[in-house]
Amino acid sequence: KNQVEQSPQSLIILEGKNCTLQCNYTVSPFSNLRWYKQDTGRGPVSLTIMTFSENTKSNGRYTATLDADTKQSSLHITASQLSDSASYICVPHSGAGSYQLTFGKGTKLSVIP
């Protein structure tokens, strides 16, 4: 059964600090992995996608890493801002239909001044 474990469940950091969110998955076979950001009261928005052959990808202050061998991904946020407060959801994909996407429960990040 495909599973996604994200840690920590929640995180509080001071504005300007860095943080790293973790995602372990058991999806097999593996095609790609997306990180979504979900602001409170809104739908998720894609931040980045990692394919099997990619190890690191950056999108502004967000840097995602992927280790397909150990089935782990991380999302590093640099110089956090108040607007980074949101839930971050890891979504690995097996390459089959979209119906086979497995959503993680997310990490709730709170950035405080």
Interacting span for other proteins (CB under 8 A) from 11-19, 35-43, 53-61, 70-78: 35-43
Strands 10-14 and 107-112: what pairing? parallel
Interacting span for other proteins (CB under 8 A) from 11-19, 27-35, 54-62, 65-73: 27-35
105 binds other proteins (CB under 8 A): yes
1 binds other proteins (CB under 8 A): no
**104 closest CA partner among 69, 60, 80, 74:** 74
Q: How far is the CB of 1 from other proteins (least distance, A)?
A: 13
Cα–Cα distance, 113 to 109 (Å, whole number) = 13
Of the candidates 32, 65, 74, 78, which one interacts with other proteins according to CB under 8 A? 32
Q: Rounded to 5 degrees, what angle do the CA atoms 21, 109, 63 make?
A: 40
The alpha carbon of 2 is separated from its chain's Cα centroid by a whole number of angstroms, namely: 16
Query: For binding to other proteins (CB under 8 A), which residues are involved?
Result: 31-32, 34, 41-46, 49, 87, 89, 93-101, 103, 105-106, 108
